[in-house]
Amino acid sequence: MKIKPFNPPVRTLMGPGPSDVHPRVLTAMARPTIGHLDPAFIVMMDEIKQMLQYAFQTKNALTIPVSAPGSAGMETCFVNLVEPGEKVIVCANGVFGGRMKENVERAGGVAVMVEDAWGTPVDPNKLEDALKNNKDAKLVAFVHAETSTGVQSDAKKLTEIAHRHGCLVIVDAVTSLGGIALKVDEWEIDAIYSGSQKCLSCTPGLSPISVSERAIEKIKNRKTKVQSWFLDLNLVMGYWGTGKRAYHHTAPINPLYGLHEALAMLQEEGLEKSWARHQHHYVALRSGLEAMGLSLLVKESARLPQLNAVMVPPGVDDAKLRSRLLEEYNLEIGAGLGALAGKIIRIGLMGYGANMKNVMYCLEAIEAVLSDMRAPIQTGVAMNAAQSAAVLN
Ligand SMILES: *Cc1c(COP(=O)(O)O)cnc(C)c1O
């Protein structure tokens, strides 16, 4: 069989990631590949570091993209900061908190879980209690923006509590970076990781991280080697650090051009404006969905603008709804996970995708398909509601 070149369909990506990639980013990625130690490439690497510091609002020198997806950023933080036998308090209120536990245990640590119901934020009081009951804990880990449920937790407050009890924090900001307020230095976050394909609107496969001096101190004082050679920050910094660069692994050259372009776009727009744009389009989308008679899973004060968990109306098969949206409208939205499978759909408004065209298109497509599926919704009002909300806010 002769295999033809792969031409992907043109979709609108409004799921939990990847999000729509801006044409400027795709164009940047098609530029000529150069060597990973080429002086011109090293200049670009330094610019990426600078722009990541801006995105994370930090002066941390160790602010770099790990050469692999968000999960590798997660793993980088855990394998470097957790030493065998150490106790780590892990706050879990969705899928990604559960993965943190896996990471702690695989790094030889002992995970103490602080569980909150899916769809609710991490309860600071429960963290406080766990720290009081585990005075030997060294680290606290939590997810800022839980993509599996559309919930944001109070990263500033959780970090304060952890520090009061002498712990360092690891924060998952895969979905929050660029989408909602995040201030690494002001909030004194010790180690944080993100992903390129959510609110940065780059292609998947890179994981920006930032590590504070306090955390580096802990890594330097380890009694045991970091068990991952590839993710050992002591080694990675030989390539990404300052001064003479040495080969560690071949950096993903062209994806890094893409990240550079995505970060340049974030700078052009301004970080606060990007946060406000996500909020603005969430309000429009929510107004449209509510006018249609649909409701959201998460209480207003804890909702993520960039990831909306919408209750599936009674009698509707969510898999059928999603596959019709994909087939008939080229529109991708996300499914519910775990206990929320079949109960919610997840609509992302991430990065470049947080725009009025996507909001209107999504409302129109969902209304058309749900109405065809005989779901109990109001028709003919959603677009107007979204439009009015967008004008007002
Ligand atoms: C997407 C996501 C990850 C994992 O990122 P990958 O790039 O898929 O490896 C981790 N945490 C959260 C909160 C996410 O949304």
Mean pLDDT in residue range 314-340: 97
What is the band of 344 on the pLDDT scale with cuts at 50, 70, 90? very high
What tens digit of pLDDT does each residue of 29-85 get? Answer: 999 999 999 999 999 999 999 999 999 999 999 999 999 999 999 999 999 999 999
Kindly list the domain boundaries of the chain, sorted by start residue.
23-267, 271-392
Ligand 1 centre to CA of 382 (Å) is 31
Residue 198: pLDDT over 90: yes
Residue 201 CA to ligand 1 centre (angstroms): 14
Token pair 């098969």 is at which residue?
Answer: 317
CB 173 within 8 A of CB 194: yes
Per-residue pLDDT for 391 more than 90?
A: no
pLDDT of residue 210: 98
Residue whose CB lies within 8 A of the most ligand 1 atoms, among 75, 96, 122, for a mutation test? 96
In this model, does residue 18 exceed pLDDT 90?
Answer: yes
Residue with CA nearest ligand 1 atom 12: 174
* Ligand 1 atom closest to Cα of residue 143: 13
Could you confirm whether domain 271-392 is CATH 3.20.20.330? no
Show the tokens assigned to 34: 């150069």
pLDDT at 242 over 90: no
Residues with CB under 6 A from ligand 1: 17, 69-71, 74, 96, 143, 145, 147, 172, 174-175, 195, 204
Same fold, 23-267 and 271-392: no
Q: What pLDDT, in 10s, does the model give residues 98-117?
A: 999 999 999 999 999 999 99
**How large is the average pLDDT for residues 369-373?**
98
| CATH architecture of the domain with range 23-267 | 3-Layer(aba) Sandwich (3.40)
Reported pTM: 0.97
Q: What is the pLDDT of residues 210-223, one digit of tens each?
A: 999 999 999 999 99
At 392 the pLDDT is: 80
